[in-house]
Amino acid sequence: DVLRDPIPHSRNLCGVIDVLDFPIDPPHASNVQRGGTDFGVFRQRYGKFHAGEDWGGPNGQPNLGTAVYSIGHGVVTYAQPLGWGRDQGVVIVQHNYEDGTPVLSFYGHLDPDTVVLQAGDCVARGDLVGQIGQPRSSPHLHFEVRTQAPYATLTGYWPEDPTTQGWLPPSQYIWGQRLASAPGVRWVQPPSASFSARAVGEIISGTVALVVGEELVALDANTGRGEPLALPELAENGLTTAVVSTNDTLFVADGRRQVYAYALPDLTLRWAATVPPAVRPALFPLPHGGLLVATPNHLL
């Protein structure tokens, strides 16, 4: 069981992170419709990027007065009923991993009367930190996960990409930590907003090939570390698709209608062929080393 009560010790008197929950309707926020989607969004009104996420209450319930909970075990570093003035109360909690690495959770727009925690208080995962109040805008929780400013409210917005200054995408971070803490999980790689990664297959024992953008990446399945595969034939034209066959062959299509076959595990080139034009041909390995190439108008 990965869930543990906070156990004080010399370095972390309020315990360490076991699992992180969501701040509303924990642990999964499964009944919350609004939340987890607007981190890093540029707001014309402020001329800056949103450094957190705006959360509403569970479906069918008013936002005002919704209970807000600590996402994990930790120590309160800041708690003020009017920490944001007219935009109401703020609580900041520092959570520490077993190796001492800290991460902060930030809860803004809280009803001032419900901010009763004080700096130095210990909170456990799921403890109440306050309720959603009535800021100048409509009632909602402003929620951040960050690695800087444990004693400062800041403004909730930043002139550039917030991730460059220590803010983290809150929901993505929490889901990643929840997955990483599950039994049997060795590592978790966060997804990229700009492109997706697709698994191709095992190319060497313990190493999996991924198509990432226009690159072929070799990923160590034990550590999660990845390195681009340096295939000279792809240096200029990039990659569109790849597949591994059952007879230890890696097939790759590039951006200039070329298909290459590489022997595994040493990645020596077996053959190359030109195929009809296609934005992204589909490659289907055949028994005994053959390959079917499908384009919109041809099967080869």
Taking the CA of residue 298 as centre, how many other CA atoms within 13 Å lie in the half-sphere pointing to its CB?
14
If DSSP states are collapsed to H, E and C, what string results for 68-82?
Answer: EECCCCEEEEEEECC
Query: Looking at the predicted structure, is the pLDDT value of residue 9 above 80?
Result: no
222-246: pLDDT as tens digits = 888 888 888 888 877 778 888 998 8
Element (H, E) at 131: strand 128-131
Q: How far apart are CA 92 and CA 292, in angstroms?
A: 57
- Considering the four listed CATH numbers 3.20.20.70, 2.70.70.10, 3.40.50.300, 3.40.50.970, the one that applies to the domain covering 42-180 is 2.70.70.10
Q: Where are the domains of the chain?
A: 42-180, 197-299
Is the Cβ–Cβ distance between 209 and 79 less than 8 Å?
Answer: no
Burial 107-141 (b: 16+ CB within 10 A, else e): bbbbbbebbebeeebbbebebebbbbbbbeeebbb
Contacts of 195 (CB under 8 A, 6+ apart): 212, 213
247-269: pLDDT as tens digits = 889 999 887 888 999 999 889 99
How does DSSP classify residue 87? G
282-291: pLDDT as tens digits = 889 988 778 8
Which structure tokens are listed for 46?
């402020």
pTM for the structure as a whole: 0.73
104-146: pLDDT as tens digits = 999 999 999 999 999 999 999 999 999 999 999 999 999 999 9
61-68 mean pLDDT: 96
Task: Answer positive or negative: Cα dihedral of 9, 10, 15, 17.
Answer: negative
Query: What single letter denotes the amino acid at residue 13?
Result: L
Top-tier CATH class for 197-299? mainly beta
